[in-house]
Amino acid sequence: MAAELLKRSQAAAADTWAIEDLYGSVELFLEDAHRLEQMTEELKGFTKEYLTESGWRLLEYFQKLEKMVTMLDRALCYSERSADVDTGNDKYQALSGKMMGIYHKFSTVTAPVDAWIVAMEEEKIQQFYKETEELCKYKVTISDLRRLKEHTLSPELEELLASSREMGSAAEKTYSLLTDADFENPFVTDEKGEMVKVSSGRFVPMLESRDVNVRRETFQAYYGRYEQYKNTFAALYEGKAKANFFYAKARKYDSSMEAAVDANNVPKEVYYNLIEAVHENMHYMHEYMALRKKLMGLKELHMYDVYVPIVAEETGKITYAKAQEEIAEALQVLGEDYVRVLKEGFENRWIDKYENEGKRSGAYSAGCYSAHPYVLMNYQYNLDSEFTLAHEMGHALHSYYSAKHNNVFDSEYKIFVAEVASTCNEALLMDYLLKRTEDKKKKAYLINHFLQQFRTTLYRQTMFAEFELLTHQMAEEGKSLTAEALKKLYYDLNVQYYGPDVTVDQEIAIEWARIPHFYYNFYVYQYATSFAASMALSKKILEEGEPAVARYLNFLKGGCSKSPIELLKDAGVDMTAKEPIREALKTFGALIAEMEELSCQI
């Protein structure tokens, strides 16, 4: 009998997030959507002459904009969260489409205003601040706009670019619908001899099976489905890469990567430093693969063998309740208030817990300025899911603190720091679990999980970042991103990163097609940089105590009040240098040695 997923209508309310905290009904949502359409039209009354007349005029604009952005944020959150838990539901997809249309109209109307603000003389802006003290509330937002002055176009061109964004995001939306709603996942035989559908949420857990036949069949069947649509996936990815370059060129950047990192006020050298630092320390990854091959007793270590724990699982089935309890205990080091907010999220349905048919794959946290964060999970009762929950709640509390201590504009922290709080939670959870076990087998299992975090976050995400960089360079040079070209590049990178002790199976060449983050415009490198930063910060928290905790909480409260690099420096880590990455990789090397020593004792 095939193990089928529950339909969304069958999910228990206690296991779903409280979407009603945003709107009690669709009708109330539609009222706000209609009001937003009206307010967007009203914004057209803010002409260049009107806005630049005085500080009071500019203040009037930002006060109205603040109300709109707060309402828009809430309505977008409602429509997107509703659509993500039931991607096959046309009603929710229509709500999402409606809100995206309103958002793009809003962006089109505000784009020329941004350009006018950027074009104003600095002396005039400073005079406005002196004359209108209340305007200083929006100083960070105005300064961030003006920082990009050389990359801001005329108001007419800004409006044209903004109006094209909906069209420019078509590849991403199509990819999401294809993989989450229309994709026919294959069935494979599990350890019990039952036919199981390999969904995105089940794929990695099935690769953790102790049965090599289950791993191999899962790996081949799942990637075989992507192979069937390789040309479609290649066309979608090429479309996204070309769109990225179009917007980069329009804004006078030399490359898509440079445009993406500069939007977050991050120097492009940070991207290159990451790849270089990982290349300089590739031997640790190769050592880990050699140890994995040895401890698993395999003549050949295949790509479908790299997820299965080196030692037999010692943690057992981890219920959702147990995961919550352990996470709360582990994060006590961050203080009473942090744990209070964490438990508030656990107890008040911030989280959509389990997989259902048509639900978006993976996990994420989405902040909402006027409500509370929303966390999507597809919990699988294992250690990976426990760490994912800790990870996403790190995002959620970052959003919570940022919203509490900033206006709506400054609460939206830059993407570069977005993964720091999440991976710091994971590091603290790992420290908690390791310190509370004397059992050598369990300790070895946990260390292997930690090693896997290094493999999947520092190395694998850097490999993703390199793939994204190289493919965009190809597109920028006018080369076609065909399925075969993408597969060859991705395969060769896997050979380089995994080293001589791994048999790199041909199926892995299509893996790029199943990675949704490649549609997020140079997002993935930040997983690796954030992991390195969080390793440094968690070490300071555990060693220094209260002073480091205070700096860290101030970082969470910072929003985008400073550049992400400055916020991290204030917290105690400098990500413009290679040193945090090197230090994290040294820790990886030490853990490999500890794992090898433990393996001789169990």
> For residues 132, 134, 139 and 142, what is the CA-based torsion angle, rounded to 10 degrees?
-70
- Both tokens of 545, joined, read 């105590």
The full 3-state SS of 579-597, as one line of letters, equals HHHHHHHHHHHHHHHHHHH
Contact 256, 248 (CB under 8 A): yes
Please say whether the dihedral angle defined by the alpha carbons of residues 206, 208, 214 and 216, taken in this order, is positive or negative: positive
Residue 105, CB half-sphere, CA atoms under 13 Å: how many? 19
Sequence-distant (6+) residues with CB within 8 A of 213 are none
Q: What are phi and psi of 332, to 5 degrees?
A: -60, -30
Q: What are phi and psi of 197, to 5 degrees?
A: -75, 130
- At position 109, the amino acid (one-letter code) is V
Residue 39, Ramachandran bin (φ over 0: left; ψ between -120 and 50: alpha; else beta): alpha
Distances (CA, A) of 68 to 71, 132, 312, 413, 505: 5, 22, 54, 19, 51
For residue 188, the surrounding DSSP H or E stretch is strand 187-189
d(CA 182, CA 467): 26
Helix, strand and coil in the chain, % to nearest 5: 70, 5, 25
Residue 65, classed as helix, strand or coil, is: helix
Q: What are phi and psi of 13, to 5 degrees?
A: -55, -35
Contact 314, 441 (CB under 8 A): yes
> Residue holding tokens 């140079």?
522
Whether 80 is a known active-site residue: answer: no
* Cross-strand partners of 364: 376
Catalytic residue selected from 158, 326, 355, 392 = 392
| Full DSSP string of 340-389 | HHHHHHHHTT-EE-S--TTPPSS-EEE--TTS--EEE----SSHHHHHHH
- Active centre residues (catalytic): 392
